[in-house]
Amino acid sequence: MSGWQPPRHCTVIGAAHRRKGVVCQDASRVATLRGRQGASLQVLLVADGHGGRRYSRSDVGSRLACDQALAAVAAALEHTPLDDRSAWLALLCQGLPITIQERWGDAVQAHWQQQPAETPFDLSLYGTTLGVLLLAPDWWGCTGLGDWDLAQVGAAGPALVSEEVLPASAGEATASLCQPDAARLWPSRARLEPLPAAGPPFSLVLSTDGVRKSCATDADFLELCSQIAAVQNAEELGQGLADITTRGSGDDLSVAIGHWAGPGSGSQTAPGAPTAQVAPVAQAPPTAQAPRAARTAVRPSAPPQAGVHPALWIGLGLALAAAAWMHGPPLARQATSAWTTARNTAQIRHQAEQLCRSPAWITPTLNQRRAQFEQLASGRLEQSRSIAAAGRDPLGALIAWSQPPHRNTPGPTPTDSEATDPRATDPRATDPRPIVAPPGSCPALQTALEQQWAQLPPHPTGSSLPKQPKPDKVPEPQR
């Protein structure tokens, strides 16, 4: 039995589309599939057709995207046990993208043949985004492409766990199923997260971009996700979304919600695994098979382990998990800590490399985080916790990493900090510059960080030590 409650979804036509007599271009679906071994897999899907003259059949495209994604997942479930996480991670990264792209291409072509128009067939007519969320007894995973968002709402508050990252100049642009070789864009949004054997309940809220764009700020969006997750009544959810599009973006809105209530009595735990074990997080391997030119053209958000062969990461994760299961909690903690440290460092490196590819955006990007610089400098934000939150907020972790030593808040003892601060083992941590150069950073980024830190007053010392955050308070991700 799974700890997942029945999934919910809702799509409402945008206020602007309703007013102008335009059809809804969003689509959403949820379904519960059953695998050969009896375990169930929930599938949550949202798709957002692009609209406009160039994408005149995108309402059909989004619906077919959901249909074909569901069929592709069902087919994969036929031959892939749900407890084979590495197989499912590979499916999220490559297998499903290829299959869904092919099926969707065939489906829209068939639709065209049934309802031809004067203009020649063009995949773009059906252009759409697609977000796929899978909820298995032991893990959840996502994949897809485009400007959908995925938020997690848990005991620590809401956090954005997946969003599309494009250059700031991209404006209203998004990745699309209709792009050539679109399957190569999916891995940057693919991830697989094992569920803890014990832990507080949480929800996952998958939404099309109209939801986020209706909110004044990202903080409001996350708050909205919290409230959406709490709504149980379908009619109330529909009314709420209709209100959002009217007072917000005017765009079509889709949400799909999964809720994990805790481990079920019959959850599919790996044989022999201790019940309290938390396996390391497995994430998408890099787009190693995508030609560099293709990746550069679209600049998707590369996964944090870019540069390392995917098999190594999967292998490392499985090896660490196996070692932890065999040797009990102490080694499990060390293994998980090592994994977490490597992952955080990789994510910071990826963030730095991304910024360095576009030097003109470095300062504007950092300017938006002035509050974080100030909070770190004053001690209101704890450096090690910000670095530890690299998965949710890699830019925040990068800023925390760069914090000059004399600005560090009074932190844990050196021994403890070695376990939590990956800078302790990084040779660049001894950089004589005023800041600590983040991994993967370029001179332009280092200079910009120096300028940011230089604008702040020196850190107070002595009896006026800053107030420390509560130990259980994890910093909220910032954008």
Partner 1 sequence: MPTFPNVRLANRPLHFIYLCDCSGSMAAQGKMQALNQAIRQSLPGMARVARENPEARVLVRAVRFADRAHWHIAEPTPVEQLQWQDLQAGGVTAMGEALELVAAQLASPPMEERALPPVLVLISDGQPTDDFEAGLALLLRQPWAQKAVRLAIAVGHDADQEVLQQFIGPDPEAQLPAGEVPGASGEMPRHRTGGSGRSPRRPLQASNATTLAQYIQWASTAVVGAASMPASRVDGDVSGSNIPLPDLPPTMVDMVEDVGPVVW
- Single residue of 11, 94, 188, 214 touching partner 1 by CB under 8 A: 214
- Alpha-carbon distance of 7 to 48, in angstroms, equals 19
- Alpha-carbon distance of 50 to 209, in angstroms, equals 11
Residue ranges in 328-369 assigned as alpha helix (H): 329-356, 362-367
Q: In angstroms, what is the minimal distance from the CB of 52 to partner 1? A: 3
- Single residue of 27, 228, 437, 445 touching partner 1 by CB under 8 A: 228
End-to-end CA distance of the chain: give it in Å, rounded.
37
Token readout for 45 is 């899907």
Q: Which of residues 103-142 bind partner 1 (CB under 8 A)?
A: 124, 127, 129
The residue among 57, 74, 67 whose CA lies nearest residue 125 is 57
- Give the binding range for partner 1 (CB under 8 A) out of 266-274, 318-326, 360-368, 390-398: 360-368
Count, residues near partner 1 per rule CB under 8 A: 56
DSSP annotation of 423 reads: G
- Single residue of 34, 36, 54, 357 touching partner 1 by CB under 8 A: 54
DSSP annotation of 52 reads: S
Q: In angstroms, what is the minimal distance from the CB of 313 to partner 1? A: 27
Burial status of residue 361 (CB atoms within 10 A of its CB: 0-12, 13-18, 19 or more) = middle
Let me know: does 222 contact 215? Beta carbons within 8 Å.
Answer: no
Is residue 239 at the binding interface for partner 1, with CB under 8 A as the rule? yes
Q: Which of residues 256-285 bind partner 1 (CB under 8 A)?
A: none
Question: Looking at the DSSP assignment, which residues form a beta bridge with residue 204?
Answer: 152, 258
Is residue 298 at the binding interface for partner 1, with CB under 8 A as the rule? yes
Residue 91 neighbours by CB under 8 Å, 6+ apart: 76, 80
Q: In angstroms, what is the minimal distance from the CB of 55 to partner 1? A: 7
Q: Which of residues 56-95 bind partner 1 (CB under 8 A)?
A: none
Is residue 478 at the binding interface for partner 1, with CB under 8 A as the rule? no
Q: In angstroms, what is the minimal distance from the CB of 63 to partner 1? A: 16
Closer of 289 and 367 to partner 1 (Cβ)? 367
Q: Which of residues 387-406 bind partner 1 (CB under 8 A)?
A: none
Closer of 88 and 373 to partner 1 (Cβ)? 373
CA–CA distance from 471 to each of 339, 341, 382 (Å)? Answer: 22, 19, 10
- Give the binding range for partner 1 (CB under 8 A) out of 30-38, 66-74, 136-144, 239-247: 239-247
Token readout for 52 is 């406009």
Is residue 172 at the binding interface for partner 1, with CB under 8 A as the rule? yes
Q: In angstroms, what is the minimal distance from the CB of 370 to partner 1? A: 9
Is residue 47 at the binding interface for partner 1, with CB under 8 A as the rule? no
Burial 440-477 (b: 16+ CB within 10 A, else e): bbbeebbbbbbebbeeeeebeeeeeebeebeeeebbbb
Is residue 455 at the binding interface for partner 1, with CB under 8 A as the rule? no
Helix (H) or strand (E) holding 130: strand 130-135
Closer of 77 and 224 to partner 1 (Cβ)? 224
- Single residue of 75, 166, 322, 429 touching partner 1 by CB under 8 A: 166
- Single residue of 178, 255, 335, 388 touching partner 1 by CB under 8 A: 178
Q: What values do phi and psi take at 389, rounded to 5?
A: -90, 25
Neighbours of 328 (CB within 10 A): 12
Q: In angstroms, what is the minimal distance from the CB of 389 to partner 1? A: 20
- Alpha-carbon distance of 183 to 98, in angstroms, equals 6
Footprint of partner 1 on this chain (CB under 8 A)? 15-16, 48, 50-55, 124, 127, 129, 147, 166, 168-176, 178-179, 213-218, 220, 223-224, 227-228, 231, 236-237, 239-240, 243-244, 247-251, 297-298, 360-361, 364, 367-368, 479
